[in-house]
Chain A
């Protein structure tokens, strides 16, 4: 087995063939392998929801960089998750426009209904609640993202529609 094949098989036990293929596609566009670091992290996260230590080490090896260097990149961006998250991540905007629009009360409501604070995941792993400094939809504040969907003009009613009410527990 050649050295390259050995690394491949090593990585293969961590990263899926499809992930490797997608990373290879990114690599085709750039002169330095480490330049694909962010894309590789996004590819893996898209498939698995988050980036585990093993995945991070696998990507680092594949991109010929040290795990420390890649860790620096992964932890710098707060939308690369280095801990498991729920099925859907709620990115709740707490920036100026949303704050004027009363996002504090809505956040309390969400926390109340789902039983989680910022950085926490619901017991059934459906949601992780994270703050975000702006979603670029100030004209429709307060806003948040639930998974890939932008939810605008938030109020108690919308929260109940989405997550139910505290009385009947969190969503499910």
Chain B
């Protein structure tokens, strides 16, 4: 560790870091703009200037850029030298020449890095009296608002969007004082990760558009540490609430999982929490089929009455928490409980959880995935099924450039130099899939095969690695690439709903694990708690179809829209006469509609629970705000039902922590659940962690328009957080960080004050706890490969996933629904030509007794005999992956007009409100 001197202070610093990092690590406030811990340095903004001295006798020194200067033994710097502080102030003054004085109407105000830096350098008065440059803003889609006048040309947006996230449709244009960051033409930003621009931009050029429409300042938001429920990755998020509405979702740093970035589904897909389709009250179905709203107690009494002495069964949900699923299972008994997977999914999830518990391969975190130097993507369109993992894969292909840089003695953070050196050289990424994936652009090789053939191809790779001669040259090649790698990764998953694919992926990964070598194996699963549900189910769980046939008298369905998992016929059988169905969920859906009683559940933002992500890490989410009306978290509903029915063991439980303890005690596989986050008794310096910022305004007055009586602050009896501004948000366990804020650092850049070191874990550790530790016995099974017999004019249906559209809950958010668009059938160019259709035409897809007319989408590469259908879309919900279908042109199809994005309506002027009038 080199020793350096800053203003005479002796510092031990990390080898290979730069002075800016060294200063931040030492807790010094050195302003910066263009540097980002995940993106390195380019020395563009000139803000992090210091003075460097030749030696002890040098009193003049010279100005250097902190982010571009590596630490060297004995080097001497000054942060506070007059010429350094003057220089830094001059930089801000020059940036402010063109920056508008629009902070009061800017969405970044109050959490603006530019504001912070301006104050930090002491620049107060503008001397410039000339005109400011103005720019035309662009329409960038429903998620991102563009305000180019505010730009300080730090290049962070372009570097993030193009270099880091692999987007192609945002760039720097023109030069010097008329630099412009935008698209070639107005239009939707195409990257699935565009939302991070909101946090990457140091000022208000790119802001959260849905948030703008119901804006509150950061200091007025009530936040809680939470976990994204959009997929199984388990990104840590910090949602903010005010006036009972979930306003926005910000990234919450987790060193091992999401780091600094989220996908757009995670950031923008929570609008459904405020949806009008939310259930407010319990309801009992009347004879005319409509629901009568009843009070909570009445609903509980009725439910208890129905359940008394009856054969009760229950269906849990892989999108509900471990605790809720545990309670439901206890309530009805393991033999009457189905985890809530479809039959195919249940088998896949059981084997995935088995694999994770026994595999010889390393089950990596996202951080570890970024270190892979050869990647085999096996039958998975990762960008659309586990988006944040795909962003990590885009970093792992850069390991080639870091290797080259190391040979040249270049530090990794020298971003421009490293990119220049490597040009387009990337680490090998091999994609074997049925169709296009959104990582094709960084792949060294893409192979299109039907699902059965993917599994077979995997077997050939394993044979080639074992040294058995194989005629498959591609398999030989891939085997060789993987064997030559130091840190290979095989990534696959359940999205093709094909057991053989997963099995082959495991076999490939395990045959790469030898005495001296290892391989990472990552498996993508569908929902936020799929693994948790699989762990809970163990081998004991009832397949959903058994439950259907067992014809229970009373059926409890929790947070599960069964029509996504069962055929219409099965639904009818299950929900038909003779069974009284009690459903617990948030949003109107067909299952609720077919139930006899509905109970309003709280969303993730209004409840707490634990979710087990795809790597087997259990993480806790906490309520951001209290549920409105008679909504209640599922676990509370279930405890109340248990009490009402006099359940023997459950009626003794009262609090969330009791449920956690009971679950941990009764299920060895959940050992560690309790330490995922501190319990309700946690106090920091005698106080709970505050959800509200220290500047939270109008706490007692914000509802004065409704009622002038000042309400008491709600008490949180269940979690270590308080609905209060009292308490400290500093150095607490990482799982309890509701937002980041530090004196002088109001923006999200204050994160560095919470990190143990630049880009390191938080001071409070890393949130979450690995539940699954593999026994490393080996999970490879002999697979019997299935082959589908194809008749002429038949096609195999392959599910095609979309970040926006395939997920059940997020699609109830207006902006996401617009981006999801219509359901579609995906064809290769050749098939489309034979069929006589082009993109946007219609084709009729018939499979079994289902026949749907769908819009045609043309893909670049499609495996022979395969066609894709939109997975998770209502129109194509009934299609089974792998089943056969016929395809004809729909001659009556009306081509749709190019979609007008409805949410691009102008933001209503607050001065022209509908209620009341400013006029006298």
Interface set of A (CB-CB < 8 Å, partner B): 3, 32, 53, 56-57, 66-72, 75-76, 78
Contacts and interface: CB of A to CB of B under 8 A. Distances in A.
Nearest to A53: B185
A103 B423 CA distance: 45
Nearest to B175: A76
A71 B465 CA distance: 46
Contact of A72 (B173, B424, B829): B173
Contacts of B184: 53, 56-57, 66-68, 70-71
B172 interface: yes
Contact of A71 (B173, B423, B829): B173
A70 B829 CA distance: 27
Contacts of B423: 32
Given A67-B169, A75-B175, A76-B175, 6 more contacts: A53-B184, A66-B184, A67-B185, A68-B170, A69-B171, A75-B174
Contacts of B183: 68
Contacts of A69: 168, 171
A68 B168 contact: yes
Nearest to B172: A72
Secondary structure of the B contact surface, majority rule: loop
Contacts of A78: 175
A50 to B, nearest CB: 16
A66 B173 contact: no
A76 B174 contact: yes
A56 B173 CA distance: 14
Interface string B164-195: 00001111111100001001110000000000
Contacts of B185: 53, 67
A71 B170 CA distance: 10
Contacts of A57: 184
Contacts of B171: 66, 68-69, 71-72
A3 B183 CA distance: 27
Nearest to B168: A66
Task: Name which of A66, A67, A68 has the most chain B CB atoms within 10 A of its CB.
Answer: A68
In order of increasing CB-CB distance, the 10 nearest A-B pairs are: A68-B171, A66-B168, A67-B184, A75-B174, A75-B173, A72-B171, A71-B184, A68-B184, A76-B175, A68-B169
Interface of B: 168-175, 180, 183-185, 423-424, 829
Nearest to A69: B171
A75 B183 CA distance: 13
Nearest to B183: A68
Nearest to B829: A3
6 contacts: A3-B829, A32-B423, A66-B171, A67-B184, A68-B170, A69-B168
Nearest to A72: B171
Contacts of A67: 169, 184-185
A75 B174 CA distance: 4
B79 to A, nearest CB: 35
Contacts of A71: 171, 173, 184
Contacts of A53: 184-185
A56 B175 CA distance: 18
Nearest to B161: A68
A53 B829 CA distance: 27
A67 to B, nearest CB: 4
A3 B171 CA distance: 27
A9 to B, nearest CB: 15
A67 B183 CA distance: 9
A3 B175 CA distance: 36
Contacts of B169: 66-68
A108 to B, nearest CB: 21
A129 to B, nearest CB: 18
Q: Name, among A53, A56, A66, A78, the residue most crowded by chain B CB atoms within 10 Å (CB to CB).
A: A66
Indicate the member of B169, B170, B173, B183 with the most A CB atoms within 10 Å: B173
A15 B198 CA distance: 38
A56 B184 CA distance: 10
A57 B183 CA distance: 13
Contacts of B170: 68
Contacts of B174: 75-76
Contacts of A72: 171-173
A38 to B, nearest CB: 14
A14 B423 CA distance: 30
Nearest to B424: A32
A78 B171 CA distance: 17
Contacts of A68: 168-171, 183-184
A125 to B, nearest CB: 24
Contacts of B168: 66, 68-69
A3 B860 CA distance: 10
Contacts of B175: 75-76, 78
A163 B184 CA distance: 37
A70 B183 CA distance: 11
A76 B180 CA distance: 10
A115 B185 CA distance: 32
A69 B174 CA distance: 11
Nearest to B171: A68
A71 B168 CA distance: 12
A3 B424 CA distance: 24
A18 to B, nearest CB: 25
Contacts of A56: 184
A69 B829 CA distance: 27
A76 B174 CA distance: 4
A69 B183 CA distance: 9
Nearest to A56: B184
A154 to B, nearest CB: 26
A131 B532 CA distance: 67
A76 B158 CA distance: 15
A57 B173 CA distance: 15
A70 B171 CA distance: 9
A172 B844 CA distance: 64
A72 to B, nearest CB: 4
A72 B180 CA distance: 9
A17 B46 CA distance: 47
B528 to A, nearest CB: 34
B890 to A, nearest CB: 24
